């Protein structure tokens, strides 16, 4: 095992996963609105999506799967619509009342499908497959067997993805964030909506270019 290369990989993916994006925004929004348990189920959904995307990338790297750019573009476009819908629903939910009582949060959370929403947001950008295809070969030398290396890289990514997102949820339980729960929820939902709009425009342009 090439441990220096593995440590470099861990440091790199930790920065990548912790960087705010649609998944982080969704997790923070759910944690601020519904609490730890609900947000943790969201994380499990996003984690499963990461595993599926990484698995697909591994199949491409090993030559067992090919990627159609046009299909990826269309799926990404639909994913942006779904992200936008989640963001709008969160914004409207916060704006509907000035204060959300703690006793009301439980029933709302139970009516949601956090794991499914997390999975859909996580899978909404299938072009992450292309990223993993380009990223993983840089660290494939952590063992002498490429198959073992891919398995280790996948397992480490999924583990740190889970740990870092849970750290975000745990941070939301602190008094500092609880006092600003409503503001954080509005900001995270707004950021999620912005990501959806920008992603939709970008994906639409790519689909038009590939479809020509």
Q: Which residues of the chain have pLDDT under 70?
A: 64-67, 94, 97-111, 127, 210-212
Can you give the residue ranges of every domain in the chain?
3-211
Taken as a whole, the chain contains a residue count of 212
How far apart (Å, rounded) are the C-alpha atoms in residues 210 and 70? Answer: 6
Site of tokens 């299938």: 126
How far apart (Å, rounded) are the C-alpha atoms in residues 199 and 78? Answer: 10
Model confidence pLDDT, tens digit, residues 27-86: 998 898 888 999 999 999 999 999 998 888 888 887 766 667 777 777 778 878 888 888
* 78 CB neighbour count, 10 Å cutoff: 15
Q: Mark out the alpha helices in the chain (DSSP H runs).
A: 3-18, 22-34, 36-61, 69-95, 102-111, 114-123, 128-135, 146-171, 175-179, 181-211
φ/ψ of 63, rounded to 5, equals 80, 15
Q: What is the pLDDT of residue 40?
A: 95
How far apart (Å, rounded) are the C-alpha atoms in residues 94 and 149? Answer: 45
């Amino acid at each position: 095992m090439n441990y220096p290369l593995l440590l470099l990989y861990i440091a790199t993916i930790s920065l990548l996963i912790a960087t705010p994006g649609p998944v982080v925004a969704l997790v923070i929004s759910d944690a601020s609105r519904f609490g730890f348990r609900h947000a943790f189920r969201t994380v499990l959904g996003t984690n499963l999506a990461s595993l599926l995307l990484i698995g697909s990338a591994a199949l491409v790297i090993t030559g067992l799967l090919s990627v159609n750019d046009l299909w990826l573009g269309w799926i990404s476009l639909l994913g942006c619509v779904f992200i936008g819908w989640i963001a709008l629903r969160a914004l409207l939910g916060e704006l509907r009342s000035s204060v959300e009582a703690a006793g009301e949060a439980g029933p709302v959370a139970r009516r949601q499908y956090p794991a499914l929403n997390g999975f859909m947001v996580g899978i909404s950008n299938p072009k992450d497959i292309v990223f993993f295809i380009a990223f993983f070969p840089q660290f494939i030398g952590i063992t002498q067997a490429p198959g073992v290396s891919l398995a280790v890289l996948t397992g480490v990514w999924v583990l740190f993805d889970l740990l870092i997102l849970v750290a975000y949820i745990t941070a939301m339980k602190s008094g500092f964030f609880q006092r600003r729960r409503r503001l954080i929820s509005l900001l995270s939902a707004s950021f999620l909506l912005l990501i959806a709009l920008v992603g939709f425009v970008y994906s639409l342009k790519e689909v038009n270019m590939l479809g020509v």
